[in-house]
Structure 1
Amino acid sequence: MAQSDDNIQLEGASTSKPTTAIDHPPANFLQPFDPENPLDWPLSRKWLVTDIISATGLNRIMVSTILAPALPAIAKEMAMSSTEEMMALSIYLLATAFGPLVIGPLSEVYGRQLILHASSVWFLVWNIVCGCAETKGTLLAARFLAGFGASAVYSLAGGVLNDIWRPEQRGKSLGVYLLIPLLGAAIGPILGGVIVANTTWRWIFWSTSIFQALMMGVSVFSFQETYAPEILRRRARRLNIPLEKRSMMNFTKALTRPVRFLLFHPIIQVSVLLSAFDYGILYITLSTFSSLWTSVYHQSVQISGLHYIACSLGEVIGSQVGGFLMDRLYMRPRRHTRPEARLPLEGFSMAIAALGLVFYGWAAHYKLYWVVVDVAVTIMMVGLQMFGMPVSGYIIDSYGEHTSSAMASLQFGRSLSAFLLPLFAPKMYQVLGYGWANSVLASAGLLMLGLVWVLWRYGPQWREKLVV
């Protein structure tokens, strides 16, 4: 199992094997129940923390897509080229690839609470700067820095869920967490279209900043520290137990952990490929869906934004069904109660996603009635969402108290894919058409199931050799 460099012994707080530099009973969680142990918190407190992280994710993910309807107006005002116009949208995603590599490890040094609040302030400041930008350089730079702060939720969420929920509850908690943020990607273009139609594009940033400030006020008073080592450090300080100071060596080791995971951990490498493909298809769809309705179906920008409801509906259904099935697979039969028990859901969900991709592609190719296309996209999104969840659950189960660093590694691949693949999507659809292009993507998805078999076959051996 994983070897940890944390300074305080934990009992029942993680699936990873901890080491200890301080062995003093008052600094340990008591067994079998300790009210300060996040795993022993009342359900009401667990759901409150989960909901706060979820609502935080809503705004930060919504900001990634809300700018789409405003891009023509911004490009005209700031004399942007077509490439710069696309960068105004996608540079935010690029930042979410690199931010978690720093923010995830920091949350394992200083705890989740401090990092969540600090990243919220950072995001708010730079999002306001975006709304006040007078030059394209300022807008692009502020957009990148805002994305860097927003990216905290991608690594923190997995860590927090691991902190407070036991493995048999992981599917349900992951499904509830995803419920609100998944609405953000679809709500963003709809709100953006309404704002642009009725006022200036700057209100896109100002309105999301107001919402962010309100969320910060709620989280400051409601979000409690969930990271067990940090809780134990605070307990030790209350009891005047001397603690070993955080050394520069441990700090450096923590900051380099996500990169080391990417370079040396086969579990992470295979999971990154699976997640990157899933995210790439998702953002290809999100980035081109509006243009399908405006250029092929000749609908208005505002009406085209409403079709994103189909995307959101599919993701919400997928998250709830996927969460339920994850827990059922994990618990039945009991002999399969291990992280790999979640992986069979990958095959079922990719079959649904591939069916939806082909259905969507050829429906759009033959310009069928808009309801048919929206139904196809909903089916595709159900499959894609269900495909992504077991990978996240598998990483959370495997990496214990270093989940935030592991999720940061995973998010690096996801965000790079979400940033790069949509850049080629318009040309792909132009050359191949919607039908053949989506058929190729569906075939690639079915081939990716070979990587799922690799995790199923070799995952247990790799987990036994994990060094974090």
Structure 2
Amino acid sequence: MSDLIESEKKGPLPEVHLVETRDTETRGNSQGETSSGPDNKNAYPELLAYSWPTWKKWVHLTVVFFVQISMNYNASVVGNALGLLEKRFEITEFQARLQMFAFLVAYAFGCELWAPWSEDFGRRWILTGSLLLVNIWAAMCGSATNFTTIMVGRVLGGLCSAGGSITLGIVADMFRPDEQGYAVNFVVLASVSGSVVGPVVGGYLEENVEWEWNFWSQVIFGVLVMAAFVALPETRAKEILNSKAKALRTDAAKEGRPCHIKGPRENVDIMSRRQILTGHPETWRHIFTIWLRPFKMFVTEPIVLFLSLLSGFSDALIFTFLNSYGVVFKEPYKLGPVQIGHGFLFLIVGYIIGYVAYIVDFWVKKRRSKRSGEPINPESRLFLLLFIAPFLPVGMFLFAWLSEPSIVSSPWPALSSTVLVGIANYAIYLATVDYMVAAYGAFAASATGGNGFARDLLAGISALYANPLYENVGRPENTRNGSVILACISIGVIIPIYAFYFKGEWIRGHSSMAEDFKKQEAVREEQLTGSRRPTPIGSRRNSSTGEVDIAFGTA
């Protein structure tokens, strides 16, 4: 154990902590927590995801990368099926767009509803259940015989989509705040890329196959990533400890020795199942408390509220911007679906440039932190964004002027300008979630759920006004007016970034949960740098029976 501590001196490491229990009862509160304190990872550190070798963490992240792409692919690829749906079901373009609106708005609530359950019952099975249900509803859409069935399937698919909140929670499980930068960077690249992979693949689907394959492609992709993810181990500390407790009880039973070891969530899990079936009011109150946690954080935590709105407005601008491609390039430049899909690759180039820029940024910050011996300041996570954020309005203004056939005869200069837009959008999303994951630790899934809520909700609303904005403002003379309007709005959107950078410490000081997490991290650091490891308390062996009367606690 001492070797493990020595290898992890660069940041706070979970401690072993055992709490006394009697027979099968855990001395804790109604939430299933032990008497040692609130949720953290201070038990059996060598078992927890924090202590996994680097290769294992990145294998896990690679699978999560494709899971994230799959979820955002489902949201974006359907844009290429609109015309086919209109012909097949004899509906208007507005009605066809309603299913995109319904999915994204439902997705916004789905992020919030699934995230807190992963904090209480583990990431693995919650996310697997989400993926399974999403695949079922996508299959229902693919086999639909009327448009109503598609609408119902899209709403249910959105509600069952866990979104990036759980994947970012997985990052918080495996990496300490001072080490999470590269991992968050990787997951964010998957999130933004998934929205662009959709129209790239969708162009080929629109041109070559029937509308059903738009949904069946979602099912195929979803089944593959679900199969890969379910094979991964759990990362949530409580669930890992529950499994350890069960294994110790099994070993004791084989030896004919009684053992009453309990994990931190076992009692409440069993109790909840029984009480849900009988309609126990306390259990249902706990369920609603869990469900409401992300919404409460979105409203009451200033960090979650303002950064989520910043990221959400940015995403809505991007979504509106992307919806303009068909109007701007199809008729004036005679581009087909596949060619328009290729135009989205410029955004991916921007995202990759942003990804590499932040790899360098994290490396520089880590070296400075190592030399100074001080942790990375939360506001420093926004420093690079101060210079990248203006790329958003600049790129949109360039797109507006270069997309006019009377000015430029080729569409490629305008498409090239979207590289700047991609860099800015990537940086805004990354910097905001990185800030929140560092601020809220174990509750990062609920915190970033607010980010996903704002992004998906505002993007869903934009699905209804995107085409009218470009078709009715300035047409038929030009299409640039819509882009100019978006560029002007984006100037106002990026202003809060500077407020957070210069006043972020004051804002964090007025955020109760962020302050609590900061104090917990300080306690862990103090324990780690002490003269000796704290002695586990409450462990007891019954002298007459030899059984161990302990429970895993989270201090």
| Same structural fold, with TM-score higher than 0.5 when normalized by the shorter chain | yes
Cα distance change, pair 294–442 in 1 and its aligned pair in 2 (3 A): same
Summarize the Cα distance change of 1:129–1:113 in structure 2 as closer, same or farther, 3 Å threshold: same
- How far 1:350 moved relative to its partner? 0.7
Q: Which of residues 381, 386, 394 in structure 2 aligns to 1:342? A: 381
1:241 is aligned to 261
Amino acid in structure 2 at the alignment position of 1:426 = N
Q: TM-score scaled to structure 1, two decimals?
A: 0.88
- Determine the structure 2 residue equivalent to 1:431: 473
Q: Which moved more, 1:456-465 or 1:337-346?
A: 456-465
Q: How has the CA–CA distance of structure 1 residues 461 and 55 changed in structure 2, closer, same or farther, with 3 Å as cutoff?
A: same
Match status 1:197 vs 2:245: no
The reply to whether residue 283 of structure 1 matches residue 309 of structure 2 is no
What is the match of residue 268 of structure 1?
304
Provide closer, same or farther for how the CA distance between residues 58 and 114 of structure 1 changes in structure 2, counting only shifts above 3 A: same
Shift of 1:304: 1.4
Contact 1:176 1:320 in 2 (8 A): no
The aligned counterpart of 2:427 is: 386
Q: Deviations for 1:21-40, whole angstroms, at most 9, x for unmatched residues? A: 2459xx97568xx3311111
Answer with 197-206 or 444-453: which moved more. Answer: 444-453
Q: Which amino acid aligns with 1:301?
A: P
CA deviations over 1:326-362 (Å, ceiling 9, x no partner) = 4534663544623222122221121222221221222
Shift of 1:164: 0.5
> Which digits, 9 at most, give the CA deviation of each residue in 1:105-132, with x for residues without a partner?
1111110011011111101100100100
- Unaligned 5+ residue runs, structure 2? 1-11, 16-28, 249-259, 273-282, 475-480, 518-555
- Within 1, Cα distance between the matches of 2:360 and 2:326? 32
Q: Does 1:298 align with 2:334?
A: yes
1:182 to 1:453, Cα distance in 2 relative to 1, 3 A: closer
Runs of 4+ aligned residues of structure 1 deviating over 6 Å after TM superposition are: none
The Cα shift of 1:168 comes to 2.8
Secondary structure of the residue that 1:166 maps to in structure 2? Answer: coil
CA contact (8 A) 2:49 2:173 kept: yes
Counterpart residue identity of residue 230, structure 1: E
366-375 or 98-107, which deviates more:
366-375
Answer yes or no: is the 8 Å Cα contact 1:274–1:451 preserved in 2. Answer: no
Higher helix proportion (structure 1 or 2): 1
Q: Percent identity?
A: 22
8 Å contact from structure 2 (residues 189, 426) kept in 1: no
CA–CA distance in 2 between the matches of 1:282 and 1:40? 38
**Residue 256 to residue 103, structure 1, CA distance change in 2 (3 Å):** same
Contact 2:301 2:512 in 1 (8 A): no
Residue 258 (structure 1) aligns with: 294
Is the alpha carbon distance of 1:317 and 1:392 closer, same or farther for their aligned partners in structure 2, counting shifts above 3 Å? same
Give 3-state SS (helix, strand or coil) of 2:46's partner.
Answer: coil
Is it true that 1:358 corresponds to 2:368 in the alignment? no
Distance 2:42 2:498 in 1: 42
1:444 paired residue among 492, 507, 512:
492
Distance, in Å, in 2 between the alignment partners of 1:121 and 1:64 is 16
Query: Is the 1:360–1:376 contact (alpha carbons within 8 Å) kept by the matching residues of 2?
Result: yes
Q: How big is each residue's C-alpha offset from its partner over 1:207-249, in whole Å with a ceiling of 9 and x where there is no partner?
A: 221222222222222x110011221222233334135425625
1:367 to partner: Cα distance: 4.5
* Structure-2 change in CA distance of 1:251 and 1:439 (3 Å): closer
Q: Is the 8 A contact 1:347 1:449 kept in 2?
A: yes
What SS does structure 1 have at the residue aligned with 2:510? Answer: helix
- Bigger radius of gyration among the two: 2
Q: Distance in 2 between matches of 1:295 and 1:435?
A: 17
**Contact 1:326–1:390, Cα closer than 8 Å, also in 2:** no
TM-score normalised to structure 2 length? 0.75
Return closer, same or farther for 1:438/1:263 CA change in 2, 3 Å cut-off.
Answer: closer
Partner of 1:206: 216
User: Superposed, which structure 2 residues align to 1:372-411 within 5 Å?
Assistant: 372-411=413-452
Distance in structure 1 (CA, Å) of the matches to 2:456 and 2:34:
37
> Given residue 292 of structure 2, which amino acid in structure 1 is its aligned partner?
T
**Aligned residues between the structures:** 448
* Structure 1: gaps spanning 5 or more residues: 1-10
State which of 167, 171, 183 in structure 1 corresponds to 2:181. 171
Question: Which amino acid is the alignment partner of residue 234 of structure 1?
Answer: S
The 1:133/1:102 distance shift into structure 2, 3 A limit, reads same
- Aligned-pair CA distance for 1:316: 2.4
CA contact (8 A) 2:100 2:460 kept: no
Amino acid at match of 2:125: L
* Offset, 1:431: 2.1
Q: Secondary structure at the match of 1:332?
A: helix
Query: Deviation of residue 61 (structure 1)?
Result: 1.0
Q: Is the 8 A contact 2:206 2:337 kept in 1?
A: no
In 1, Cα distance between equivalents of 2:196 and 2:386: 26
